[in-house]
C-alpha cells in the first residue's frame, strides 16, 4: 500500500482494497525527492505538516498491527525497488489527478509490470471522478451549478459509505524497522507550524471537524468574514487526506437533510472541490493556459515592482495587504480574501494570473493544484464558470462589507490599529484633522494606494475588450 495524499489509517479505499485482497500488506510512504528537491524554501509548512502526519500514521498503523516504511527517495524509483525487494504481488494506491502525478504513476506501473507485479489504483480523494458525472450529451461540465445538480442527483448513501479497515487489521505485515528520516535529514527546517498551533494528522483533522460541526449551521452567515471563526479550516486536511471526503460529505448531507442551511452551503463547497478535479481531468491544459483560449490574448502589464508589493502586502489597500500578510505569516488565507487578492492582482495591477497562482502554490499550506488553478482562473475571468471580466472586486467595498470594524486588518496591518473604523479601510482619504489627531500620515506611516482603483479598472476593461474583440458598452459591476 503506497500512501500519498491519503495520510490516514481509516476509511481509505486503496488500503481497504489491499487488505481484502492480500494475506500480508506492506505499507509505505515516500518523501518524494522529485517534489521536495524543487522547493526553494526549505522552511516549508507543507513538508512539516506531512512529516507530522506521517509520524501519526505510522503510530496508527502500529496499533492496527502493521508498520510503515518511510523513505526519502524518488518515488518512481523507490516504489518498484521496494516492491521487488518485498516480493509483492501488487502495489495498491489511490488516484492522483494532477498531470505530473499521472506521469509518475504510469512510470511506476510500467516498472512493476516488468516484474510481474500488478498496479491497482482506487478512487478516494473525490466522491465522483473522471466520467462519473457528465452532461446529458456525455460531455464534461464547464459550469458549476449544472455540475452540482447532476452531482447531487447521483449522490446515494453508497458513495459516502466508509471503507472498514479495522475488521481487516490481521492482514498487515510488520517489517518496517528503519527509522523515518527527520526533517533536518531531508534538508528542511522547522517552521512556525507549532507556534501557530496548527492541528496536524488524523487527530488534528478530527478535532477541527468536531469543532466545525458545532457551528456548521451558521456557516452560510459567517463564512465570508475573515475575523470570524466561520470556515471549517479543513482544507489542508482534505488536501493531504488526513480526513475522508466521504465522512465530510456524509455529515454535511445528513445535516442538510435535517434542515441546516449552513450545511447545504458547505456541501456546495465540497462539490466545488470535486468540480475543479473534474475540470483538471478533462482539461489538463489549464495547468499553464487559460481554460478559455481566447483569454490567452490578454497583454498583462506584469510590473515586477507591483508584483513584489502585492506579495509583501504593501499596496496601500488595507484588506488586500492584510490578506497577503496573513498568507506570508501563516500559510493560510481566508477564502473570501483569496478572491479579493487574486482580483486585485489580475484586475487592478493587470498581472498574469499565473504569477499569482505560482505564489499561492509556494505559500499555501493547503495548496491543491486543481482548486488553486480553478480559483485563480475564476478571479482572472479566464476559467470555466468564471467571474465575468467586467465584474471587478472593489477592495474598499469588500473591506467595508466583510471587515466592517477593521478587526482583521488590525491583526495583520498593526500600523493601522489606531485608526477609526471608518478610516482604517482607506487611510489615504483621512482628513488632515484626523491625521493630526491620530498621529498618522498616509504615505509615511502606511503606503499610499499603489494604483487608483477606478483608473486601473478602466484600463483592465479596455485590455480585456481589446483581447476579446468586444465593442459593446459594458455595465458597471464594481463589487
Task: Pick the catalytic residue from 51, 151, 310, 376.
Answer: 376
Q: Which three cell numbers stand for residue 248?
A: 465530510
* C-alpha distances out from residue 359 to 262, 277, 355, 366, 376, Å: 31, 20, 6, 13, 11
Q: How far, in Å, CA of 343 to CA of 337, rounded?
A: 10
The one catalytic residue among 192, 283, 328, 335: 335
Reduced to 3 states (helix: H, G, I; strand: E, B; else coil), residue 93 is: strand
Residues 129, 206, 221, 300: which is the catalytic one? 300
Choosing from 272, 310, 355, 378, the catalytic residue is 272
CA distance 141 to 326: 34
Q: Out of 269, 400, 415, 434, which one is annotated catalytic?
A: 269
Q: Phi and psi at residue 29, in whole multiples of 5°?
A: -130, 140
Find all residues with CB under 8 Å of 438, minimum gap 6, and list them: 418, 419, 420, 423, 430
Instruction: Say whether 300 is catalytic.
Output: yes
Residue 310 annotated as catalytic:
no
Query: What are the residues whose beta carbons fall under 8 Å from the beta carbon of 435, sequence distance 6 or more?
Result: 441, 442
Q: Say whether 353 is catalytic.
A: yes
Nearest to 275 by CA among 155, 378, 143: 143
51 is catalytic: no
Count the Cβ atoms, other than its own, within 10 Å of residue 473: 6
Instruction: Please enumerate in sequence order all residues whose Cβ is within 8 A of that of 32, keeping only pairs 6 or more positions apart, or say none.
Output: 73, 74, 75
Measured from the Cβ of residue 90, the count of other Cβ atoms closer than 10 Å reads 16
DSSP 472: S
Query: Of these residues, 253, 310, 353, 378, which one is catalytic?
Result: 353
Hey, is 30 helix, strand or coil? strand
Q: Is 355 a catalytic residue?
A: no
Angle between helices 144-154 and 261-282 (to 10 degrees): 110
C-alpha dihedral over 240, 245, 248, 252, to 10 degrees? 140
Catalytic center residues = 269, 272, 300, 335, 353, 376
Amino acid at each position: 500500500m503506497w500512501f500519498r495524499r491519503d495520510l490516514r489509517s481509516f476509511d481509505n479505499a486503496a488500503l481497504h482494497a489491499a487488505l481484502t485482497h492480500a494475506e500480508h500488506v506492506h505499507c509505505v510512504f515516500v518523501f518524494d525527492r522529485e517534489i521536495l528537491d524543487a522547493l526553494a524554501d526549505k522552511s516549508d509548512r507543507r513538508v512539516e505538516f506531512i512529516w507530522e502526519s506521517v509520524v501519526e500514521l505510522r503510530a496508527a498503523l502500529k496499533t492496527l498491527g502493521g508498520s510503515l516504511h518511510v523513505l526519502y527517495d524518488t518515488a518512481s524509483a523507490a516504489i518498484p525497488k521496494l516492491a521487488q525487494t518485498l516480493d509483492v504481488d501488487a502495489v495498491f494506491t489511490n488516484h492522483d489527478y494532477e498531470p505530473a502525478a499521472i506521469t509518475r504513476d504510469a512510470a511506476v506501473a510500467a516498472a512493476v509490470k516488468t516484474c510481474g507485479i500488478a498496479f491497482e489504483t482506487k478512487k478516494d480523494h473525490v466522491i465522483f471522478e473522471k466520467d462519473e458525472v457528465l452532461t446529458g450529451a456525455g460531455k464534461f461540465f464547464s459550469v458549476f451549478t449544472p455540475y452540482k445538480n447532476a452531482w447531487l442527483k447521483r449522490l446515494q448513501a453508497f458513495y459516502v459509505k466508509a471503507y472498514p479497515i479495522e475488521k481487516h487489521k490481521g492482514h498487515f505485515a510488520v517489517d518496517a524497522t528503519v527509522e523515518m528520516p527527520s526533517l533536518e535529514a531531508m534538508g528542511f527546517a522547522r517552521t512556525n507550524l507549532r507556534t501557530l498551533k496548527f492541528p496536524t494528522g488524523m487527530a488534528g483533522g478530527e478535532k477541527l471537524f468536531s469543532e466545525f460541526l458545532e457551528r456548521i449551521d451558521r456557516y452560510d452567515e459567517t463564512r465570508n468574514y475573515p475575523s470570524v471563526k466561520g470556515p471549517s479550516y479543513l482544507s489542508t486536511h482534505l488536501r493531504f487526506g488526513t480526513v475522508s471526503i466521504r465522512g465530510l460529505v456524509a455529515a454535511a448531507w445528513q445535516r442538510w437533510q435535517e434542515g441546516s442551511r449552513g450545511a447545504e452551503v458547505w456541501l456546495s463547497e465540497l462539490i466545488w472541490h470535486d468540480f475543479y478535479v473534474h475540470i483538471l481531468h478533462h482539461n489538463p491544459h489549464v495547468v499553464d493556459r487559460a481554460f478559455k483560449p481566447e483569454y490567452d490574448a490578454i497583454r498583462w502589464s506584469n510590473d515586477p515592482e507591483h508584483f513584489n508589493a502585492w506579495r509583501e502586502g504593501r499596496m496601500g489597500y488595507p484588506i488586500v495587504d492584510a490578506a497577503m500578510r496573513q498568507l506570508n505569516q501563516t500559510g493560510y488565507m481566508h477564502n473570501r480574501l483569496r478572491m479579493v487578492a487574486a482580483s486585485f492582482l489580475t484586475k487592478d495591477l493587470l498581472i498574469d494570473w499565473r504569477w499569482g497562482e505560482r505564489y499561492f502554490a509556494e505559500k499555501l499550506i493547503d495548496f491543491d493544484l486543481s482548486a488553486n488553478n480553478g480559483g485563480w482562473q475564476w478571479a482572472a475571468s479566464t476559467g470555466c464558470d468564471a467571474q465575468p471580466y467586467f465584474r471587478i472586486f472593489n477592495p474598499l467595498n469588500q473591506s467595508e462589507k466583510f471587515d466592517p470594524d477593521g478587526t482583521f486588518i488590525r491583526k495583520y496591518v498593526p500600523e493601522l490599529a489606531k485608526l477609526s473604523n471608518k478610516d482604517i479601510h482607506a487611510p489615504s482619504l483621512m482628513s488632515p484633522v484626523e491625521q493630526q489627531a491620530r498621529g498618522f500620515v498616509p504615505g509615511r506611516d502606511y503606503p499610499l494606494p499603489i494604483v487608483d482603483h477606478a483608473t486601473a479598472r478602466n484600463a483592465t476593461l479596455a485590455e480585456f475588450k481589446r483581447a476579446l474583440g468586444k465593442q459593446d458598452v459594458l455595465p458597471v459591476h464594481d463589487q
